[in-house]
Amino acid sequence: MLHPAVLRKINFFYAFGNTPPVLLTEHLPPEESVNALLLGCGDPRSILYTVHVTAASGGLGRLRSVVGSQQFLHQAEKLQLLSTSLEVWHGSKYGNLLRICNKDTLTRLHHLWKLYAKPLSKGIDKKYRTGLATLKDCYKNLHSTPALWNIPIGRAAGPLCAEAIDALLGQGIQYWKNGTTGYNASEIKAATLTNPTFLYTGMGGDEVMVHYSSNPIECFHIGAALATLKPSGPDVVKGVTVNTVPSKLAAVVDNCRAQFHSWCASFRKASHFDNHQAVCVRFFTGDALPFCDYLSRQGQRSGSSVGLFTYTKDWSMAPLVLDGCDYQDGAANPAPLKFNIIDTSNLTDHSGLLNILLVTNALLVRSASTVLYTESFCSDDEDSIKSMEGQIGGDLGMMFLLFDLAPLSYLSYTTKPWNEYNQRLAWRFPSCAKVNCSTILSTQHPAQLAACLFQAFLTLFQNENNAAKFKNMASASTPSQFMKLMQRDSVIHYARETYAFLLKFVKGRVHVNWPEVMEYLVTFLETDKSLLMASMFYQELRTHMHILGLEALPLVEPSWGMTKTERLPGWHIMPPVVSVVLVVPRSSFNILNTVDKSQLGTPQFQSAVGTHHLQNLYRAIQMTFGKVRDNGESGEKRILFVEEDSSGLQGNSPVIVAWYMPAWMLLIDPESTMVSLQIANTMATSRTFLSILGPLLEIFKAKLLHRGNVFVARNMPGLIQRTEARALQVTLTPDARSTALSWVGGGRKLDVMTIRQTGESTNLLLSNTRKTVEQSQVSPYSISISSGEHTKTVVFPFPVAGNQSRLRIARKSKYIEVVVPIAGPREQENYAADLTPVMIQDGAIIPWNLPRVHMNSLPAIVLGGITKRKWLNRLVKEMLGYTNPLQKSDVGNKFPLAPSLFSIISRCTGITKNSPHTQRPRAIYLRSPSDFMHGIFILVLEVRLDLSSHTILLDTCVVSGETAFELGFAALLDTPEVYYQPGCSEEEMQAWREYLPAITERCRTWKHDSTRCAWIKSGKIPASSTNPLCECGAGTIPEEHLKLEVSGVSMPGAAAALAMHGTRAAISPFFPGPWCAKRQA
């Protein structure tokens, strides 16, 4: 139970999701097979969209069909019959495409399909319509505040946010009034049938639980309907041609429907591709955190059984078992246990970012192409760095290094357009950015590592620091600031089990004297006075340290207690850890019903065990409704299980609460020991429940020896495998390339990384005592050391601040140590080159931080007059936070190609004022004043709308000047249609040469020929300083793309002829990331 138990009396059903779909494969090479794990995914739109975009063949016809009520019932009946068992389902025509992970998931699906197939009675139909009417009132009240309903529309529209709000004014209200997105009178009139999928959701009996702000329009890329697009593009219906609201609404609705039908058609085609299954989707219903933990242990089991060690979800004591055939040894269609894509939706807001990083890290394939996506809808006025430090436990660079996971926007300082209401991050392994990089960390300073871990503890549980909390409250100058502080204090994502998992993870990452680390850490924890509640949760922490095999911190087991186990009836041998189960009568729990729903919120629970003089609290608890049963034994032989009440909150069964705790605490004074269930104390819960439950916010308490309400057993109910088996002992052996760490500031910040170099190559560097050993930074991750003609490159697992590096040279001992701090995202001294690296790994070409695009799936924009380009102006001017695009600012210094990139995009989109050229350029030549011949031709084919990234891109063809002149195109430079980018410095030109491989590789549809590819043969990208591209993609642009007009401007004949020899490239604006100082301002 990494997350505390939460009461959600209202669980809303999100029928369509509330964000547009994303391209799941945008960071994967086209040759790599996809194993994706989608957590918290409520609907299949991103799967459909990804299959559609990446489909090998384009031009799929739009599928238009209408599913009537009789067809719906017939299909539901069919699915009901096919879902009676896993064997029947997997043997059906759907079984190869849609796999079910376990019986529990199939049982839930069968139950819903059975309800769908059942005709609605008049009473149920009336109840449905009454519930829907209540939700309509909620929707009206919500949308009386325009700022609230603008947010999801803005998320879906991206750069056309303002245009979407204007076009869709009142659309949501009309949808809730009419029950359809249709705008024709006949379609509205026909929308009279009850939708069973809105009624039966598995989330509240037959209550209508559809979220009151649901709107299907928000689930599509509505910007495609509001920009003026070329009619021949994909998923494009006729765009906006008049300025009346009905026509804009019609354009949006028709476009969304066209998108959905195209996705479905592509998915259908992919699922029957040459009778070979190209797509397989597996389903599991339950909580993401235990599911990931289970998959991780399944992959580590080495033939042994995983066992029953966790539950399927919160508010349930059904053990998690993946009993589908795909998870059995020797399965014909084995399910993957490692993934190159993990998308966690917005689970960060519900489960906590640190919990997500802890459970997903081991499931990721260790590769440069692997990516983890996190998303958050919770905006915070705090500094982005400070906010994330609170979520993951400390200094970002230090924690990212320990996890070997970091957001690309942190590593590269740039991102897609940043939306504070939808913060989506792509994470990668920093150590995979360079080959031959060791992932093992080490330290000779156990006290420093312990201090670092202690600072993480203080950060993760800072809401228990009452002194700091009251100080912040006193400084709140407005009621809104006070309410935000209360809201922040009420969000508790982590129990002590999370911290124990973090310790276990670090133990497996850092080679250190671990017992000594734990000795220091215990001292820090036991002497700390800043967190007043920490001592009351200390035994919970020690319990989970024991369970996870952190053996250097044994549980205290007083000998006087162990000799009196007879005082707990039936026990002969008391294990170090036991499970306690508390049965809370429904009459006691129902006291929460006296609180108005609008004031109840989502309180969290904790259990308490103690005597008059000693009390300990536990938040890693599991709760459900039902009755406790046992096997008739007592003491250590007792096995508990729960008969769950499927009615849940709507039923009348008692509440069952279970948790682990140290056994010795039950032996101090069993007769006077009390066990209770409480609400976690925060500013908000105290305000709501203090007058009802008293100062302890206690719902129910019972004596430990009360047989009807308290049970003690070796394991939690239904879990039959001993908990210590969960511990995986990892032995780390540092190699010659391992990175040594040291800290400053009491463990708050990582000081430096050190790598020691030995061996023959190091001896050559030290051989000539007359020559000094020098150093220089050659990439964000690498330091080159040299002496005379001898050089050696030292690769670090994280970006470094090379201008602050130093060498320790020991000629007698024959080693060199490179000592360097990690690079923070706001340091201007960061290495400015190699901003968009492309790497070769196992034969695959991987652009590190630029997302891939499928050019032919992106609609082309018609660049009209200035009034139709307002959204373009807003988007492009946001690029890199510039106010004056040609003035080098702090960001400009970091991105040498920024001025020319901004100039090219603004000229090609027509937003540059007072341009000396009357037409937008179709051909551009970049060069430095000192080198005319080795420039770069950029030939603009289209300006496209990048729907998934909410930005634009230039669909271009690039040719090196050297190639163009060799082919005899020198005369092209004398034509007036070619635009010269003035003033490109040599540094800027070098940045462009490093940029070209990334922008060509990100839109590649062709394959590299290993026999002639300059990149693969040389093993480096770019292979040449003057001609950075390989020849594999030259001449692969379809001829029809060279004949297109861009807003009435044709490609010059000579330029079109040159483009036939070029390589297609996708040029996008850069935007400041959330860590950027200018963005923060």
Residues 510-527: tens digit of each pLDDT? 999 999 999 999 999 999
630, two tokens: 């046992």
Q: How many CB atoms are closer than 10 A to CB 679?
A: 22
pLDDT at 196: 83
Q: How many CB atoms are closer than 10 A to CB 170?
A: 11
SS (H, E, C) 768-781: CCCCCCEEEEEECC
Question: H or E element: which one contains 791?
Answer: strand 790-795
Better-predicted residue by pLDDT, 830 or 692:
692
Asked if 831 contacts 777 with a C-beta cutoff of 8 angstroms, the reply is yes
Question: H or E element: which one contains 208?
Answer: none
Of 57-66, 345-354, 488-497, 559-568, the range with the lowest mean pLDDT is: 57-66
Confidence check: pLDDT of 892 > 70: no
Angle at alpha carbon of residue 460, lines to 455 and 461, rounded to 5°: 100
Confidence check: pLDDT of 403 > 80: yes
Spatial separation of the C-alpha atoms in residues 244 and 242, rounded to whole Å: 6
pLDDT tier, 727 (very low <50, low <70, confident <90, very high otherwise)? very low
Spatial separation of the C-alpha atoms in residues 455 and 749, rounded to whole Å: 9
pLDDT at 1081: 43
Spatial separation of the C-alpha atoms in residues 619 and 310, rounded to whole Å: 16
Spatial separation of the C-alpha atoms in residues 530 and 537, rounded to whole Å: 14
Of the ranges 367-381, 423-437, 579-593, 845-859, the best mean pLDDT one: 579-593
Work out whether the CA dihedral 516, 521, 522, 523 comes out positive or negative. positive
- Mean predicted lDDT score pLDDT of the chain: 83
Which of 771, 787, 833 has its CA nearest to residue 994? 833
Asked if 754 contacts 818 with a C-beta cutoff of 8 angstroms, the reply is yes
Amino acid found at 589: F
pLDDT at 421: 61
637, two tokens: 């032989």
Spatial separation of the C-alpha atoms in residues 659 and 786, rounded to whole Å: 59
Tell me the pairing of strands 931-946 and 923-928.
antiparallel
Asked if 936 contacts 926 with a C-beta cutoff of 8 angstroms, the reply is yes
pLDDT at 407: 92
Spatial separation of the C-alpha atoms in residues 268 and 90, rounded to whole Å: 18
Confidence check: pLDDT of 29 > 70: yes
pLDDT at 290: 93
Spatial separation of the C-alpha atoms in residues 253 and 1021, rounded to whole Å: 45
Confidence check: pLDDT of 223 > 80: yes
Residues with Cβ within 8 Å of residue 13, at least 6 apart in sequence: 198, 201, 203, 209, 210, 211
Confidence check: pLDDT of 828 > 50: no
Confidence check: pLDDT of 71 > 80: no
Which of 617, 664, 626 has its CA nearest to residue 644? 626
Spatial separation of the C-alpha atoms in residues 963 and 694, rounded to whole Å: 81
Confidence check: pLDDT of 482 > 70: yes
Confidence check: pLDDT of 936 > 60: yes
Q: How many CB atoms are closer than 10 A to CB 806?
A: 11
Asked if 920 contacts 929 with a C-beta cutoff of 8 angstroms, the reply is no
Q: What's the pLDDT tens digit per position in 32-52?
A: 889 999 998 767 889 999 999
pLDDT at 10: 76
pLDDT at 865: 61
DSSP symbols for 801-850: -GGG-EEEEETTTTEEEEEEPBPPTT-TTS--S-SS-EEEETTEEEESSS
Q: How far is CA 567 from CA 612, 698, 714, in A?
A: 18, 27, 17
Spatial separation of the C-alpha atoms in residues 170 and 153, rounded to whole Å: 12
pLDDT at 205: 64
Better-predicted residue by pLDDT, 370 or 960:
370
Residues with Cβ within 8 Å of residue 587, at least 6 apart in sequence: none
The phi-psi region of residue 674 (left if phi > 0; otherwise alpha if psi is between -120 and 50; otherwise beta) is beta
Which of 784, 806, 811, 808 has its CA nearest to residue 795? 784
Residues with Cβ within 8 Å of residue 691, at least 6 apart in sequence: none
pLDDT at 552: 44
The phi-psi region of residue 1064 (left if phi > 0; otherwise alpha if psi is between -120 and 50; otherwise beta) is beta
Q: How many CB atoms are closer than 10 A to CB 610?
A: 19
Which of 267, 253, 297, 372 has its CA nearest to residue 52? 267
Half-sphere exposure of 201 (CA within 13 A, CB side): 19
Q: What is the CA radius of gyration of the chain?
A: 31
1055, two tokens: 């330029």
Amino acid found at 293: D
pLDDT at 296: 92
Spatial separation of the C-alpha atoms in residues 754 and 653, rounded to whole Å: 60
pLDDT at 152: 77
Q: Bridge-partner residues for 1072, per DSSP?
A: 414
Spatial separation of the C-alpha atoms in residues 519 and 521, rounded to whole Å: 5
202, two tokens: 């598995």
pLDDT at 660: 95
Kindly provide the residue ranges of all beta strands, DSSP E only, lying in 506-639, ordered along the sequence.
510-511, 577-584, 605-610, 615-618, 622-630
Confidence check: pLDDT of 890 > 90: no
Better-predicted residue by pLDDT, 215 or 867:
215
Residues with Cβ within 8 Å of residue 998, at least 6 apart in sequence: 836, 837, 838, 847, 848, 850
Alpha carbon 343 to its chain's center: 5
Backbone angles phi, psi at 425, to 5 degrees: -120, 140
Q: What's the pLDDT tens digit per position in 340-371?
A: 999 999 899 999 999 999 999 999 999 999 99
688, two tokens: 């709501």
308, two tokens: 């029953």
pLDDT at 56: 46
Q: What's the pLDDT tens digit per position in 82-98?
A: 999 999 999 999 998 89
Spatial separation of the C-alpha atoms in residues 209 and 201, rounded to whole Å: 7
Average pLDDT score over residue span 808-824: 89
Asked if 805 contacts 836 with a C-beta cutoff of 8 angstroms, the reply is no
Amino acid found at 392: I
Spatial separation of the C-alpha atoms in residues 89 and 103, rounded to whole Å: 11
Helices and strands, counts by H and E, the chain = 37, 34
pLDDT at 739: 86
Better-predicted residue by pLDDT, 721 or 763:
763
Average pLDDT score over residue span 833-861: 86
Confidence check: pLDDT of 735 > 80: no
Tell me the pairing of strands 710-713 and 739-744.
unpaired
Would you state the torsion angle of the CA atoms of residues 401, 403, 408, 409, taken in this order, to the nearest 10 degrees? -70
Q: What's the pLDDT tens digit per position in 969-1002?
A: 877 777 766 777 666 788 888 888 889 999 999 9
Three-state secondary-structure class, residue 1026: coil
Question: H or E element: which one contains 1035?
Answer: none
Confidence check: pLDDT of 145 > 80: no
Amino acid found at 534: A
Backbone angles phi, psi at 781, to 5 degrees: -110, -5
pLDDT at 843: 81
Backbone angles phi, psi at 972, to 5 degrees: -60, -30
Asked if 681 contacts 661 with a C-beta cutoff of 8 angstroms, the reply is no
The phi-psi region of residue 345 (left if phi > 0; otherwise alpha if psi is between -120 and 50; otherwise beta) is left
Q: What's the pLDDT tens digit per position in 98-111?
A: 999 999 999 999 99
pLDDT at 526: 92
